[in-house]
């Protein structure tokens, strides 16, 4: 893809909403790592103690939240590209480069950690950053992107074993195989063109963790004293990554499964807000990102020409309805020296949370609003 492939359009109201979410999250949460120049990360709470810096190499570290922050930065770059703002797209690409470099620095100068799902998220986000560079014809930082891809992909392959019949382990403890690791790994491999291995992972998910009763994907299988124990929890983000992998694979069986999964999400993971079905959320903490991840991949499904038309319409309706509800529920937070940033509710139809603010629900709202803008 290049900048000239698609004629740019004038920014829409949905683009403006996404831009406001980007501005607000950046104003409230973004900063440098300690006093290290040319670094960039998102703090996990606002206000943070001290200055706008994010401390040093100690303290709480949310590796996978930063991966989703990188994904949102890439979303903003692609939005700029759609509207013909090449300088803005290049600016977001440069910010993504700085963020990716700082993630590695904060992670003790390495790409890897103890959780394979974390590494899968960063692999996906780094891959999308590379596509943004390709789209604007930018060649800088390719060495770092190749390094991230090589190290992270190797780790994901090492976690895909025949234990429990397939799938990925969740952590280096190797006592739990689950959807949070297997789904994004399958999507990453499908995007790399490694479709056979991606299909094996999806096949394992459908054989071991898909529920024919709900039509949804369950959480995982633990090994306890040599016994397999099913963890039947249902989380929005697991449906999203599996949907993304199915749409990316694009064969008839995968597309049929994708259409059925969209219908199951519509039937079982929604609530009614002002007479409209929207996606339910999962509170704060890690759960504050779950529905944003699902929405990202529903938007991918809504924009997939090969997918059943009814499934595409349903996916698009859920994206736009959820985005509208989060936008209507926004408030603002006074910040000295800047236009008051918007603060988004944790759940559609809810009210904005009080200070201190947690990054994950605000980043989720940004992700949802970017998805709705992309579909416009």
Tally of domains in the chain = 1
Q: What is the pLDDT of residue 1?
A: 40
In a domain, 168, yes or no: yes
In a domain, 192, yes or no: yes
Which two structure tokens, joined as six digits, stand for 244? 């993304």
Q: What is the pLDDT of residue 27?
A: 95
Which two structure tokens, joined as six digits, stand for 14? 């949905």
In a domain, 359, yes or no: no
Dihedral angle sign, alpha carbons of residues 177, 209, 295, 290? negative
pTM of the model: 0.95
In a domain, 305, yes or no: no
The helix (H) or strand (E) run that includes residue 31 is strand 30-31
Q: Which is nearest to 72 in space by CA: 134, 139, 8, 26?
A: 26
- Rounded to whole angstroms, how far apart are CA atoms 210 and 239? 10
Residues 366, 190, 248: CA angle, nearest 5 degrees: 60
In a domain, 145, yes or no: no
| Locus of tokens 């789209």 | 135
In a domain, 150, yes or no: no
- Rounded to whole angstroms, how far apart are CA atoms 346 and 348? 7
Q: What is the pLDDT of residue 334?
A: 82
Q: How confident is the prediction along the chain (376 residues), in pLDDT tens digits per residue?
A: 444 456 788 889 999 999 999 999 999 999 999 889 999 999 999 998 765 556 656 678 999 999 999 999 999 999 999 999 999 999 999 999 999 999 999 999 999 999 999 999 999 999 999 999 999 987 655 788 999 999 999 999 999 999 999 999 999 999 999 999 999 999 999 999 999 999 999 999 999 999 999 999 999 999 998 899 999 999 999 999 999 999 999 999 999 999 999 999 999 999 999 999 999 999 999 999 999 999 999 999 999 999 999 999 999 999 999 999 999 999 998 876 668 999 999 999 999 999 899 999 999 999 999 999 999 8
In a domain, 245, yes or no: no
- Rounded to whole angstroms, how far apart are CA atoms 59 and 45? 13
Q: What is the pLDDT of residue 119?
A: 98
In a domain, 43, yes or no: no
* Residue 10 DSSP code: -
Which domain covers residue 212, as residue numbers?
Answer: 162-234
Q: What is the pLDDT of residue 54?
A: 64
- Rounded to whole angstroms, how far apart are CA atoms 271 and 126? 33
């Amino acid at each position: 893809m290049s900048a000239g492939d698609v004629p740019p359009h004038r920014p829409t109201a949905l683009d403006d909403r996404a831009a406001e979410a980007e501005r607000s999250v950046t104003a409230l949460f973004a900063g440098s790592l300690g006093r290290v120049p040319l670094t960039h990360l998102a703090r996990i709470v606002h206000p943070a103690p001290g200055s706008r810096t994010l401390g040093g190499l100690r303290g709480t570290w949310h590796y996978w939240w930063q991966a989703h922050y990188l994904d949102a930065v890439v979303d903003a770059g692609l939005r700029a590209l759609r509207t013909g703002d090449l300088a803005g797209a290049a600016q977001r690409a440069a910010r993504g480069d700085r963020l990716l470099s700082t993630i590695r620095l904060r992670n003790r100068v390495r790409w890897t950690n103890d959780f394979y799902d974390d590494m899968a998220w960063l692999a996906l986000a780094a891959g999308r950053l590379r596509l943004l560079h390709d789209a604007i014809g930018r060649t800088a930082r390719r060495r770092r992107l190749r390094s991230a891809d090589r190290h992270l992909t190797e780790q994901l392959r090492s976690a895909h074993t025949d234990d429990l019949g397939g799938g990925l382990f969740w952590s280096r403890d190797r006592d739990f195989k689950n959807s949070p690791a297997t789904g994004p790994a399958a999507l990453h491999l499908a995007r790399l063109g490694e479709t056979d291995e991606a299909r094996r992972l999806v096949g394992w998910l459908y054989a071991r963790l898909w529920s024919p009763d709900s039509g949804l994907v369950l959480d995982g299988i633990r090994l306890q004293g040599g016994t397999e124990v099913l963890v039947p929890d249902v989380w929005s983000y697991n449906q999203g990554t599996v949907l993304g992998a199915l749409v990316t694979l694009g064969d008839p069986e995968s597309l049929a499964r994708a259409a059925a999964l969209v219908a199951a999400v519509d039937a079982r993971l929604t609530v009614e807000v002002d007479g409209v079905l929207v996606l339910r959320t999962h509170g704060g903490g890690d759960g504050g990102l779950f529905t944003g991840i699902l929405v990202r991949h529903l938007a991918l499904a809504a924009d997939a020409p090969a997918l059943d038309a009814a499934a595409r319409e349903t996916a698009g309706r859920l994206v736009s309805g959820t985005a509208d509800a989060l936008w209507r529920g926004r408030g603002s937070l006074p910040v000295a020296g800047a236009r008051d940033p918007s603060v988004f509710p944790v759940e559609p139809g809810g009210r904005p949370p009080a200070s201190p603010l947690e990054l994950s629900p605000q980043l989720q709202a940004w992700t949802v609003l970017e998805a709705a803008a992309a579909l416009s």
